[in-house]
Structure 1
Amino acid sequence: MTTTIAPSRRALLGSLATLGALAAASPKASAGPTAIHYGGPSIPLWPGAAPGAPATLPKRRIEQRSQSAAFDDRWLYGVATPTIEVRRPAYQDGSAVILVPGGGYGFLSIDNEGEEQANWLTQRGVTCFILYYRLPGEGWGDRGLVPLQDMQRAIRLVRHRAGEFGIDPARVAVLGFSAGGHLAGSLATRFAEKTYAPRDAADALSARPDLAGLIYPVITLSETFVHAGSRDNLLGPGATAAAARAGSVEQRVGADTPPTFLTAASDDGLVPIQNSLAMYQALLAKARPCEFHGFDQGGHGFGARLPQTVPAHAWPDLFHAFGRRHGVFKG
């Protein structure tokens, strides 16, 4: 386990106006928050209505959290039509990453844990798909499965359209943050679970990711170090102990769980690092390929916004190197 020093979450999220002055990182890593305004296709996940659609669909709303005109830090609510937002590199190495923003299953942090992640990945030749998944508390039926339905459908759809996007369907990774880490981890451990009725030919394809990256993730829904907000948003208040245990990623690790990369900070006051440790221990117990980097300080939600002077800024390099060793990334 690596011990390093990074700024606190309060410094990162409470004083966003100062982040534009962060020191520049390497050309292959984020230089801190920047205005990223490149676009790409927005592909609906489902033909027709998504499973369990309510009579009145949620209304899309974006909350701008940035205090600086230099960059965006948007939170998305009201996902009526889940999509994958395509971000293609100038040079493609043939790999793909589905990015899964966090937000406690109550919103999606689409810049810090979406666009900014796609920025450094596309610079390395990786085709990115930012997942705008449904929020379970917005009226959907079978709420505890709603995000996993979208996650499974997303990876199948990416594989189904691999030729269109110039990617290798056997080199598709998932990278999730906070509650998005719980969702990415759920995919990595529950990819074979039937969560929805097949809609088309894409649903005949495997939902197993070839690599999983879990960044300051929510893992457990049942232990004392649970992030209660994520649990309640996903399962609903008053969920049974059995439902919470069934939704805990560390309980689902098996012999077919893909190679998994974890990183978190020991001073994370929102999602305790014990979540990552529990997942790491579960992976080791099943002899699954895994790597864990724990940083001494950093809090929660640091994304790819750290300056080169803070060692934790290197996690994207470490993740990419892990993916190269396991044959997903090239170069």
Structure 2
Amino acid sequence: MAAAPAVGLRTASPDVAPPDPVEAIRLWPGAAPGGERVTVTPRVVERSTDPAFRDRFAQYTTEPILTVLRPQRPNGASLLLIPGGGYKWVVVDKEGLDCARVFAEAGVTCFVLRYRLPGDGWAAGADAPLQDAQRAMRLIRGRAASEGLDPRRVAVLGASAGGHLAGLLTARPGDSIYEPVDDTDHQSAQPDLTILLYPVATMADPFVHAGSRRELLGPSQTPEAIRRYSLEQMDWVGSPPTFLLHAVDDEAVPVENSLGLLSALRAARVPVETHLFEEGGHGFGVRLIAGKPAAVWPRLVLEWAARHGWPART
């Protein structure tokens, strides 16, 4: 098997952020399901004042999309990236486009998901983001062959609350949470590999990220809802190989989220690789970890994935 290619973060100029990709795919052929009572107005907010990088978040999304980054030399592998944002918004750059550029440089065709949020009035409530994640995976897989990609090499990478959503996508492949809208919905929604960066895993005290739980489940969370949406309490038997990454000094989403999930994956005999770093905090993506030991994580992911036959193709 060919070795994973070297990767690094590139920008158009040291002083100017790289341009946005121009290709986007709407998830749904019409309106997203269950939006009859949705009245929010979409917005994208820029938090950075430095021209060298962008730091945006999308809020009140009503038309979920996949933003596509195509490598110059595609290797046939695809990656669905699900950024975090505590289910309150969706980070655009830090855990989306910035990470996608690194993997596209390694030959992977990347799809960054901008998903709907559970508190915006969608009929599916807590399952609205999962509807979008399932639809996104099915679209990527359904289009793969016609785009020269391998439908059996589609991975997901989720960060923070996006890691929770990627975990739901992986552990609940048989859940029918929306009515099929076309032939694409006959595709499998389960990824072939799962990569979780500092994931929100549990919905239970004492290690829950309280903001994600509140946004996902509302102000009154029942024990049944907490159990249903806690990744470490799900049935992972038969799930694909999984990669976990977390910083021990993460004060927002405690490392116990990954440790509890690791125990569940091992009990289910899921192949799992876990990397814990002494420092890094939370939400570091690729830019905020530069120069620190955890900066090697994309290389670790690619080497692990190559052992499972994902990114490398000669």
Gapped regions of structure 1 (runs ≥ 5): 1-25
**2:6/2:299 contact within 8 Å kept:** no
| 1:236 alignment partner in structure 2 | 218
Aligned residues: 306
Q: Which has the higher contact order (CA 8 A, sep 6+)?
A: 1
What is the CA deviation profile of residues 193-222 of structure 1, one whole-angstrom value per residue up to 9, with x for unaligned ones?
111111110111111100000001000112
Is 2:21 aligned against 1:48?
no
Gapped regions of structure 2 (runs ≥ 5): none
What is the CA deviation profile of residues 231-274 of structure 1, one whole-angstrom value per residue up to 9, with x for unaligned ones?
11111110201111100111114221110000011111100000
TM-score normalized with structure 2 length: 0.93
Superposed, which structure 2 residues align to 1:11-90 within 5 Å? 28-30=7-9, 35-90=17-72
| 1:272 alignment partner in structure 2 | 254
| 1:157 alignment partner in structure 2 | 139
TM-score normalized with structure 1 length: 0.89
Is 2:173 aligned against 1:191?
yes
Q: 1:27 deviation in Å?
A: 6.4
Partner Cα separation in structure 2 for residue 196 and residue 114 of structure 1: 25
Identity of aligned residues (%): 47
Q: Secondary structure at the match of 2:119?
A: coil
Partner Cα separation in structure 2 for residue 223 and residue 36 of structure 1: 40
Alignment-mate amino acid for residue 50 of structure 1: A
Alignment-mate amino acid for residue 49 of structure 1: A
Is 2:74 aligned against 1:99?
no
Q: 1:133 deviation in Å?
A: 0.5
Q: CA RMSD in A?
A: 1.7
Q: Secondary structure at the match of 1:186?
A: helix
Partner Cα separation in structure 1 for residue 18 and residue 270 of structure 2: 36
Relative to structure 1, the CA distance from residue 194 to residue 313 in structure 2 (aligned partners, 3 Å threshold; closer, same or farther) is: same
In terms of mean alpha carbon deviation, does 92-101 or 164-173 score higher?
A: 164-173
Partner Cα separation in structure 2 for residue 136 and residue 117 of structure 1: 25
**1:57/1:80 contact within 8 Å kept:** no
| 2:282 alignment partner in structure 1 | 300
Q: Which consecutive segments of 4 or more residues in structure 1 shift more than 3 A? A: 31-34, 54-57, 306-309
Q: 1:63 deviation in Å?
A: 1.3
**1:260/1:290 contact within 8 Å kept:** yes
Alignment-mate amino acid for residue 188 of structure 1: T
What is the CA deviation profile of residues 17-39 of structure 1, one whole-angstrom value per residue up to 9, with x for unaligned ones?
xxxxxxxxx96122699612141
Pick one of 257, 272, 278 that aligns with 2:239. 257
Partner Cα separation in structure 1 for residue 272 and residue 6 of structure 2: 27
**2:196/2:244 contact within 8 Å kept:** yes
| 1:131 alignment partner in structure 2 | 113
Partner Cα separation in structure 1 for residue 256 and residue 246 of structure 2: 9
Q: Secondary structure at the match of 1:161?
A: helix
| 2:294 alignment partner in structure 1 | 312
Relative to structure 1, the CA distance from residue 164 to residue 38 in structure 2 (aligned partners, 3 Å threshold; closer, same or farther) is: farther
Q: 1:306 deviation in Å?
A: 4.7
**2:70/2:110 contact within 8 Å kept:** yes
Superposed, which structure 2 residues align to 1:103-182 within 5 Å? 103-182=85-164
Partner Cα separation in structure 1 for residue 94 and residue 206 of structure 2: 28
Partner Cα separation in structure 2 for residue 226 and residue 113 of structure 1: 21
| 1:11 alignment partner in structure 2 | none
